[in-house]
Amino acid sequence: MNWSPESGRGYMPYRYLEDVATADAAFEVEGRTLEELFRDAAIATFEVMVDTKSVKPEIAKEIELKNEDIGNLLFDWLSELVYLKDAESLLFSSFDVSIKKNDVYELKAKARGESINQRKHSLRSDVKAVTYHMFEVKRSGEKWTATVVLDI
C-alpha cells in the first residue's frame, strides 16, 4: 500500500487521543490490512512532528524487520522510523509496506522523505520514542486497530 499527502483522502484512518499524558502524543489507527495499519501509524507518527504535506519524497530508506509478534513488529517499525529521524535527520511522508507471515512476521518497507529543513518544514513536536504505555494491536472483525503513545 502506498500513501502520500498528494492522494488527498478526506477520511483519516487515525485519530489523536487527547489528555493521555502531558509529555505524550497518542493516537488510534485502523486499517483493513496490516500494511494499511503500519503505513497509517507511520503517517500519524510523522504528523505529530511535521506537516507531512511539506515533506517531499526525495530520499528512500529500505527497512526490513522481523518479529514473532505483530504488536512488537509495529513497535519496532515506528521505533526504527524515529531512529532514522534522529540519526539521519530525516522526515518521512510516504510509505510502501509489505508484511508476510511465515514462521515470523516479516516487514519490508520503503520510507520516503527528505532531510529536516527548519526553514521549509512546519515542525511541530519532536517525537523522542514510541512507548509501551497503552500500546496495543488487535484484530476485530475485518480490520486491524492499534493504540500508540509517543514520548515527545
Count of H-run helices and E-run strands, the chain: 2, 8
3-state helix, strand, coil in the chain (%, to 5): 25, 45, 30
User: Cβ distance 90 to 131 under 8 Å?
Assistant: no
Write the pLDDT tens digit of every residue in 82-137.
999 999 999 999 999 999 999 999 999 999 999 999 999 989 999 999 999 999 99
Identify the structural domains of the chain with CATH numbers, from first to last. Answer: 2-6+23-151 (3.55.10.10)
Q: How far apart are CA 111 and CA 115, in angstroms?
A: 13
Write the pLDDT tens digit of every residue in 44-96.
999 999 999 999 999 999 999 999 999 999 999 999 999 999 999 999 999 99
Amino acid at the residue 105: Y
Q: Coil, strand or helix: which one is 114?
A: strand
